[in-house]
Amino acid sequence: MGGPAEEHRRIAGAFTVTVEGTVPAAWENPAPPEGWAARDVVRHLVEWFPAFLQGATGLSLPAGPSVDDDPVGAWRNQTEAVQALLDDPATADRVYDLPHIGTMSLGQAIAMIYTGDVFLHRWDLARATGQDETLDPVRCAEMLEGMRPMEEALRSSGHYGPAVDVADDADAQTRLLAFIGRNP
């Protein structure tokens, strides 16, 4: 599928389409994570990852506009900066000892913890803003398969709600969203 740089380019690109397709009034619409608005989906991504990156690697992303003033600009700034890290072998291939996840290249770490978050939160933003909610079914099935063995740890982290019951024959997207606590 092209490695971490290509995976991020594809997944962040789909998120960018959703961000850019959000009409200004929709930024205040309620989003699926309890208590969030559409703007908070972007805020989450542009706040947690730079802090993680700085703390774990010492790398800083360039500051962009605030999500409150310009959610589209804030997202574009971040996604372009992350893509630049991934496109540069000097940063993407550098190995770090990362807290809680082990020793791996920056590209692998971004793919593991950040790109998947962008993938899942695109659904939240699309749902909040009335846009196309369709996620890549192959990626959904792969993520679900990878997350199931870690269910207890994922739930105890507080980042995922209780699983939602869905039909056994539900499609991969529905099963993944239900697994992470969303009501698809």
Q: What's the pLDDT score for residue 159?
A: 79
In the chain, where are the structural domains located?
Answer: 3-134, 135-184
The predicted pLDDT at position 155 comes to 82
Q: Please report, to the nearest 10 degrees, the dihedral formed by the alpha carbons of residues 85, 91, 93, 96 taken in order.
A: -110
For the chain, how far is it from start to end, CA to CA, in angstroms?
Answer: 27
Distance, in Å, from the CA atom of 132 to the CA atom of 8, rounded to the nearest integer, reads 19
Please tell me what DSSP assigns to residue 111. Answer: I
Q: What confidence score (pLDDT) does residue 101 get? A: 82
Model pLDDT, residue 136: 96
Instruction: Produce one character per residue of 18-29: b if its CB has 16 or more CB atoms within 10 Å, e if not.
Output: bbeebeeebbeb
Q: Give the SS3 label for residue 21.
A: coil
CATH architecture of the domain covering 3-134:
Up-down Bundle (1.20)
Q: Are 150 and 119 in contact (CB under 8 A)?
A: no
Please tell me the distance from the alpha carbon of residue 21 to that of residue 128, in angstroms, as a whole number: 12
In the chain, which residues have pLDDT < 50?
Answer: 1
Q: Can you tell me the distance from the alpha carbon of 160 to that of 163, in angstroms, rounded to the nearest whole number?
A: 8
The model's pLDDT over 101-137, given as tens digits with 9 standing for 90+, comes to 889 999 999 998 999 999 999 999 999 999 999 999 9
What are the distances in angstroms from CA 48 to CA 59, 113, 151, 181, 182?
Answer: 14, 11, 22, 20, 21
pLDDT for position 158 = 78
Residue 154 has a pLDDT of: 84
Can you tell me which residue has the tokens 């997350």? 147
